[in-house]
Amino acid sequence: MDMEIQHVRCLIVGGGPAGYTAAIYASRAALSPVLYEGNEPGGQLTTTTVIENYPGFPSGVDANKLMNDMRAQAEGLGADIRRGTVTGVDLSVRPFRLVVDGVTEVEADALIIATGATARYLGLPSEQKFRGLGVSACATCDGFFYRKKDVAVVGGGDTACEEASYLAGLCRKVYMIVRRDVLRASDAMRRRVFNTPNIEILWNCNTREVLGDDSGVTGARLERSSGEVFDIKVDGFFLAIGHHPASDLFSKWVKTDENGYIVTDGVSSRTSVEGVFAAGDVQDPHYRQAVNAAASGCRAALDAEKYLQR
Ligand code: NDP
């Protein structure tokens, strides 16, 4: 079957705060951006409810509304926002070549990758059932809702320690559910956790079920490696077992780090391939906040503009 080929000056892949912000800036710079937002428009934010830490919203803002508004703002300024998932990439040619949904071929002079990252979950049906109702993969986003309550964090890496420490400042008690008898985290993070009195580590434990009722999460059923099964009472259940940056399609071409995050040059959004820029969580293993993603989308559009002017 012959493929339809379209030429685009500035192609943005990813419909989260980074992609939409890049589209806003690229539209205003008259780069006629086309944005493919994949099959989860709005990105990771749409898995949460109210956002209280995005500046400019003193009463908080509904996450879906914020994403819809960013999208509408980009469209209002002229961005061409399309449903569709990029399924093929060739960054060895100029213009770059991408395939969308296996059927549409697009050529792009400049490419902004803003495909985000996804948190890893345990894969329990009960965990899915209570997602957004007490189950969360972002303590910074949702910890505030559990002030003075008891919560659990799953994982023993740096993220888990960081999230547990953050939650310990807000919550009455934080359980860390660790599947081995050691923390994988760095020495400094381990020490911080050990020195926080309201963090209790449950060693050698795996989660069997997240428990809950109509009000949301009420606890978790755990199993020790000895086979003992027991319940803990918690209102919040936080996953911190790692993230997957959505860079697989691009990692053949652009440099990524050992965890798959796209490497950018200093504070810029420039990747190892000239004319290809990366923004948001796909290149940010550390800060992972909507406001940072938006800011890096802005940088990517400005970098793309400069590149296209040459
Ligand atoms: P990691 O992969 O380092 O750690 C994941 C943790 O989750 C491990 O303790 C792992 O256990 C546990 N885990 C994985 N799968 C399961 C499962 N199915 N059930 C129970 N537990 C599970 O991920 P992080 O997100 O913590 O860190 C990613 C990278 O980012 C690391 O390189 C880290 O150092 C870095 N980072 C650095 C920070 C900093 O410097 N401030 C902050 C946050 C992250 P096990 O150990 O048994 O495999």
Q: Residue 156 corresponds to which tokens in the numbers above?
A: 């023993």
Specify the pLDDT at position 51: 82
For residue 141, indicate whether it is catalytic: yes
Co-location of 130 and 171 in the same domain: yes
Model confidence band, residue 4 (pLDDT cutoffs 50, 70, 90): low
In short, whether 122's Cβ falls inside 6 Å of ligand 1 is yes
Co-location of 8 and 25 in the same domain: yes
Specify the pLDDT at position 40: 72
In short, whether 131's Cβ falls inside 6 Å of ligand 1 is no
Mean pLDDT, residues 41-70: 86
Q: Give the span between the Cα atoms of 253 and 60, in whole angstroms.
A: 39
Specify the pLDDT at position 49: 67
In short, whether 159's Cβ falls inside 6 Å of ligand 1 is yes
Co-location of 15 and 102 in the same domain: yes
**With helix as H, strand as E and coil as C, how does the chain read?**
CCCEEEEEEEEEECCCHHHHHHHHHHHHCCCCCEEECECCCCHHHHHCCEECCCCCCCCCEEHHHHHHHHHHHHHHCCCEEECECEEEEECCCCCEEEEECCCEEEEEEEEEECCCEEECCCCCHHHHHCECCCEECCHHHHHHHHCCCEEEEECCCHHHHHHHHHHHCCCCEEEEECCCCCCCCCHHHHHHHHCCCCEEEECCEEEEEEEEECCEEEEEEEEECCCCEEEEECCEEEECCCEEECCCCCCCCCCECCCCCECCCCCCCECCCCCEEECHHHHCCCCCCHHHHHHHHHHHHHHHHHHHHC
Residue after which a domain boundary falls, among 239, 263, 290: 239
Query: What residues does 14 pair with on adjacent strands?
Result: none
Which residue range is the domain that position 196 belongs to?
Answer: 121-239
- Of the listed 90, 101, 142, 187, which one is catalytic? 142
Instruction: Note the pTM of the prediction, 2 decimals.
Output: 0.78
Specify the pLDDT at position 47: 64
Model confidence band, residue 106 (pLDDT cutoffs 50, 70, 90): very high
Co-location of 39 and 108 in the same domain: yes
Residue 119 clears pLDDT 80, i.e. is over it: yes
For residue 171, indicate whether it is catalytic: no
Co-location of 234 and 273 in the same domain: no
Co-location of 19 and 167 in the same domain: no
Specify the pLDDT at position 232: 98
Q: Which of 5-14, 51-60, 205-214, 271-280 comes out lowest in average pLDDT?
A: 51-60
Average pLDDT, the chain: 94
Q: Which residue has the tokens 């793309």?
A: 304
The CATH number linked to 75 is 3.50.50.60
Residue 1 clears pLDDT 60, i.e. is over it: no
Specify the pLDDT at position 140: 84
Specify the pLDDT at position 133: 94
Mean pLDDT, residues 97-114: 96
Residue after which a domain boundary falls, among 209, 239, 269: 239
Model confidence band, residue 280 (pLDDT cutoffs 50, 70, 90): very high
Model confidence band, residue 3 (pLDDT cutoffs 50, 70, 90): low
Co-location of 227 and 297 in the same domain: no
Q: Which of 232, 131, 120, 241 is nearest to 173 (CA)?
A: 232
Model confidence band, residue 45 (pLDDT cutoffs 50, 70, 90): confident
Q: Which of 4-8, 252-256, 268-272, 306-310 comes out lowest in average pLDDT?
A: 4-8
Dump pLDDT digits (tens) for 160-174. 999 999 999 999 999
Co-location of 158 and 216 in the same domain: yes
Residue 39 clears pLDDT 80, i.e. is over it: no
For residue 138, indicate whether it is catalytic: yes
Co-location of 85 and 9 in the same domain: yes
Specify the pLDDT at position 43: 78
- The Å distance, Cα 50 to ligand 1 centre, comes to 26
Mean pLDDT, residues 117-143: 93
The answer to whether residues 273 and 254 touch, using CB atoms and an 8 Å cutoff, is: yes
Mean pLDDT, residues 251-266: 97
Co-location of 46 and 134 in the same domain: no
The residue whose C-alpha atom lies closest to atom 31 belonging to ligand 1 is 158
Specify the pLDDT at position 48: 65
Model confidence band, residue 30 (pLDDT cutoffs 50, 70, 90): very high
Co-location of 101 and 141 in the same domain: no
In short, whether 285's Cβ falls inside 6 Å of ligand 1 is yes
How many domains are contained in the chain? Answer: 2
Model confidence band, residue 141 (pLDDT cutoffs 50, 70, 90): confident
